[in-house]
């Protein structure tokens, strides 16, 4: 599908570009150029052009990029098109509840099918209209619903067992909100969202100017 193998860094910037385009779309701009991107977020113009070049010639020389068309292209690349991505949240604690109530997920066609917990006090409840189910039914739901990636928020102690269950499924991705390092098959893409680590990194910068 792509002309070259796309660098990790490029992939991480695609969502940023989408945000920039949305910004200009709201302003009614029909065309933007790479300098407009640089002025709005701190990504150098040459980076934007090189990033996009991995996916073809998406701009018009001498003119720039058409906002609508580039938005469409990037959405297609990422996979936000007609399709809806389904996921489940493992754990129904504080962070999980925040995610369940998070409105912006509608914009990216993310459908949180259910959350899973072992606490009887939580099972049966709903947060932001997402039901909390018994952790015992996790494997079954993933299989039945054809879930491709899960969001892990459970406490560190149970992560081991959860990974054993997930090994029985065909998931291809995992977003990890726990501070644990996860040892999973190379075929599963793990994306870490380690809040404590981010805060520690902030400490480091503050301490050392």
Partner DNA sequence: GAATGTGAACACATTCACAGCT
Partner DNA sequence: AGCTGTGAATGTGTTCACATTC
Task: Report if residue 52 touches DNA, rule: CB under 7 A.
Answer: yes
Among 29, 49, 86, 148, binds DNA (CB under 7 A): 49
Q: How far is the CB of 193 from its own copies (least distance, A)?
A: 6
By a kind-dependent CB cut-off of 5 to 8 A, residue 55 interacts, out of DNA, its own copies, none, with none
Task: Report if residue 158 touches its own copies, rule: CB under 8 A.
Answer: no
Among residues 20, 43, 44, the alpha carbon closest in space to that of 32 is found at: 20
Task: Report if residue 163 touches its own copies, rule: CB under 8 A.
Answer: no
Among 41, 50, 68, 111, binds DNA (CB under 7 A): 50
Residue 155 backbone phi and psi in degrees, to 5: -65, 150
For residue 169, CA distances in Å to 30, 38, 136, 141, 149 come to: 45, 43, 14, 10, 10
Task: Report if residue 47 touches its own copies, rule: CB under 8 A.
Answer: no
Looking at the DSSP bridge assignments, the partners of residue 110 are: 85
Q: How far is the CB of 61 from its own copies (least distance, A)?
A: 27
By a kind-dependent CB cut-off of 5 to 8 A, residue 181 interacts, out of its own copies, DNA, none, with its own copies
Looking at the DSSP bridge assignments, the partners of residue 150 are: 88, 174
Task: Report if residue 23 touches DNA, rule: CB under 7 A.
Answer: no
Task: Report if residue 60 touches DNA, rule: CB under 7 A.
Answer: yes
Helical axes 8-26 vs 45-53, angle rounded to 10°:
110
**Residues whose CB falls within 8 Å of the CB of residue 176, separated by 6 or more in sequence, listed in order:** 152, 182, 190, 191, 192, 193, 194
Q: How far, in Å, CA of 129 to CA of 12, rounded?
A: 30
Task: Report if residue 195 touches DNA, rule: CB under 7 A.
Answer: no
C-alpha 87: how far from chain center: 11
Handedness of CA 71, 57, 28, 22 (dihedral sign): positive
Q: How far is the CB of 69 from its own copies (least distance, A)?
A: 19
Positions touching DNA (CB under 7 A) are 7-10, 32-35, 44-47, 49-50, 52-53, 57-65
Query: Under the rule (CB under 8 A), what is the footprint of its own copies?
Result: 1-2, 11-12, 14-16, 18-20, 40-41, 77-80, 85, 94-95, 97-99, 101-102, 104-105, 107-108, 110, 148-149, 172-173, 175, 179-181, 189, 191, 193-208
């Amino acid at each position: 599908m792509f002309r070259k193998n796309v660098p990790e860094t490029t992939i991480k910037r695609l969502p940023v570009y989408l945000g920039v385009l949305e910004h200009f779309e709201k302003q009614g701009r029909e065309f933007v150029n790479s300098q407009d991107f640089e002025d709005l977020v701190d990504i150098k113009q040459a980076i934007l052009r090189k990033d996009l070049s991995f996916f073809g010639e998406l701009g018009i020389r001498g003119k720039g990029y058409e906002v609508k068309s580039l938005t469409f292209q990037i959405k297609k690349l990422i996979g936000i098109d007609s399709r809806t991505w389904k996921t489940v949240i493992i754990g129904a604690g504080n962070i999980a509840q925040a995610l369940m109530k998070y409105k912006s997920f509608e914009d990216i066609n993310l459908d949180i099918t259910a959350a899973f917990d072992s606490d009887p006090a939580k099972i049966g409840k709903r947060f932001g209209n997402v039901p909390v189910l018994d952790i015992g039914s996790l494997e079954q739901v993933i299989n039945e619903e054809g879930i491709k990636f899960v969001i892990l928020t459970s406490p560190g102690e149970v992560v081991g067992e959860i990974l054993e269950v997930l090994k029985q499924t065909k998931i291809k991705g995992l977003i990890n909100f726990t501070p644990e390092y996860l040892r999973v098959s190379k075929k599963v893409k793990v994306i870490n969202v380690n809040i404590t680590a981010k805060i520690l990194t902030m400490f480091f910068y503050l301490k050392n100017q």
